[in-house]
Amino acid sequence: MFRNITLGQYYPAESVLHALDPRVKLFGALVWIISIFLMDGLFSFLLATGFLMFLIVISKVPFSFMVRGLRSIMIIVIIASVFNIFFTPGNALVEVGALRITDKGIINAILMAIRMFYLIIGTSLMTLTTTPNNLTDGLSRSLSPLEKLRVPVTDIAMMMTIALRFIPILIEETNKIMKAQMARGADFDHGGLIKKAKNMVPLLVPLFVSAFRRANDLALAMEARCYSSGKKRTKLNPLKYARRDAIAYIIILSFLTGLILMKIFL
Amino acid sequence: MSFIFDHVSYTYQPGTTYAVKALSDVSFQIKDGDCVGIIGHTGSGKSTLIQHMNALLLPTEGAVYYNGQDISDKDFNKSVLRSEVGMVFQYPETQLFEETVMKDVCFGPKNQGLSEKEATLRAYEALKMVNFPDDSFDQSPFSLSGGEQRRAAIAGVLAMKPKTLILDEPCAGLDPAGRNELLSLIRRMNEEEGITIIFVSHSMDDVAETVKRVIVMDEGRLFMDGDPHQVFSHEKELEEISLSVPPVTSLIDRLIENGFFKGMEKKEGYTVTTAKEACELICSEISR
Ligand SMILES: Nc1ncnc2c1ncn2[C@@H]1O[C@H](COP(=O)(O)OP(=O)(O)OP(=O)(O)O)[C@@H](O)[C@H]1O
Ligand SMILES: [Mg+2]
């Protein structure tokens, strides 16, 4: 059931992208998100596509693995595109009652779909090549200046680590409970919407119970090992920049500069 | 003939870097009325194996037949299989969800299409069978102790009146009395009602006391398959795959090595597996 969600999953491999410092990758993801909104002409689109393809190739993550994760996002993209097709003003191509399909609408819908796919592929490249722990590490380091403003960055990072850690556990638990209820004759696949929702009760109740129990156990275990929030913590493996990280920063910045120049001059 | 496993292999998440081959080329048969124990070290594929018997997993290679029908066939009726084959999972108490124990035990029978009344009767019988305390029938399952939850969960499967009962480590975490009760219930169901039993356990004692046939799994392969007396006479081989023999077996074997019980050492491929058999042997030695 949840096998097809690759979003936020780590794919172990040995590549340059995997070896990069998580802060670089976070910065890269941020730049990528900005660049998706900068990209409007054909050339900037080609540049971004080329850059994305380059990243996919050096990441050594099989393309088919990434695409599998896109399937579950498809519905959202389709809904967004449909809205775009029908609700963008412009020259009407087809008109049925109150619904009109316009030329601008179609272009917008296509652009929208491409932007969303690029957004997802780009950001999942980051999560696919970075372990969750590394990611939160990078995030808490990148955000550490905010500590001066009394933002509890380390606590937030800890919460994220725990949340990410629990996702696979909960998926496994869901599978287990689902199987146990199926063995007692529960049916999760058939019936209408309301029936399906009702059939979820035997799955959701045990899942919540076990999630709360786990959370409770974890809190106790952390307290037993003297964890307390708000204390300054040191790291076992502090993050250190290497030469490749500097090169990566240069590449990312030149990509961004290229896009901005195109936006201004083309 | 209820189950035939024909060169079954199973891989979790095939085609990804997370692929794990949990079963490889497993073949055996289970006949109606058998009482089979499955042993093996952790991760040897026991739970994976038994989930095939309920069509919760389908073999990635090979085939599993239930009463002559391939469970992977498109028109194979899984709901009939699941109502005839009851499955008690490892830590079954995690599947409790209803407001009261009674309602929870009714869940299975109701899914079989029984009426409210029939389901309640079945649930009552099942709860009685596992010796669940009468005054807790209408309590919330979440307010029970671990052992009581376990009983309620097992009753939830028994209430479906399965012809085959699969139990995955049902005794883990039970107190000695609870364990003895459960084991004798399993034996009774097999001997008196002819229910086929498949019993997974890490306790060699429990297996030796309960079953008539033992299947040993190692790294997803079928390592041994036979009578407990025969299987447990291979102490060395079992120890090599991180298993052991029941303590009584070990004791009697040491005694035989030291010259006691003349005549026993000639019985190749046979050993004592339960306290009862050991007692008989020792008594006959003393009275000789
Ligand atoms: N859902 C799953 N996804 C991926 N791999 C799995 C999954 N379930 C089990 N495995 C793997 O399959 C192998 C066999 O697991 P299985 O649960 O069948 O072992 P087991 O003999 O029941 O162990 P135990 O005695 O601990 O219950 C193990 O290596 C395990 O890591
Ligand atoms: Mg198991």
Give tens-digit pLDDT for A217-246.
999 999 999 888 777 778 788 888 999 999
Q: Which amino acid is at B129?
A: M
Pocket test for ligand 1, best of B44, B88, B89 (most atoms within 8 A of CB): B44
A70 alpha carbon to ligand 1 midpoint, in Å? Answer: 28
Question: Do B25 and B220 form a contact (C-beta atoms < 8 A)?
Answer: no
Identify the pLDDT of residue B1: 61
Distance CA(B270)–CA(B235), nearest Å, equals 11
The number of angstroms, rounded, from the C-alpha of B204 to the middle of its chain's C-alpha atoms is 12
Q: What's this model's pTM, rounded to 2 decimal places?
A: 0.79
In whole numbers, what is the pLDDT of chain A averaged over residues? 86
Nearest chain B alpha carbon to A211: B94
Question: Do B88 and B159 form a contact (C-beta atoms < 8 A)?
Answer: no
Per-residue pLDDT band at B152 (split at 50, 70, 90): very high
A131 pLDDT above the threshold of 90:
no
Residue B240 vs residue A7, higher pLDDT? B240
Identify the pLDDT of residue A233: 75
Q: How does DSSP classify residue A190?
A: S
SS3 A106: helix
Identify the pLDDT of residue B265: 65
Q: Identify the weakest region by mean pLDDT among A77-86, B144-153, B193-202.
A: A77-86
Interface test with A, best of B111, B112, B154 (most A CBs within 10 A): B111
Identify the pLDDT of residue A227: 86
Tell me the CA distances in angstroms from B177 to A53, B147, B181, B182, B268, one per residue in order. 64, 11, 6, 9, 35
Distance CA(A139)–CA(B66), nearest Å, equals 53
Identify the pLDDT of residue A1: 41
Nearest protein CA to atom 12 of ligand 1, as residue: B22
Q: How does DSSP classify residue B143?
A: G
Contact B11 CB / ligand 1 (< 6 Å): no
CB contact (8 A) between residue A11 and residue B17: yes
Average pLDDT value for residue range B84-93: 92
Complex ipTM: 0.85
Alpha helices in chain B (DSSP H): 46-52, 78-84, 101-111, 116-129, 146-158, 176-193, 204-210, 228-231, 235-240, 247-257, 275-287
SS3 A177: helix
Q: What percent of chain A has pLDDT over 70?
A: 97
Nearest protein CA to atom 18 of ligand 1, as residue: B45
Average pLDDT value for residue range A26-52: 90
Average pLDDT value for residue range A58-80: 83
Per-residue pLDDT band at B266 (split at 50, 70, 90): low
Counting ligands in written order, the one closest to the CA of A173 is 1
pLDDT tens-place string over residues B222-231:
999 999 999 9
Contact B52 CB / ligand 1 (< 6 Å): no
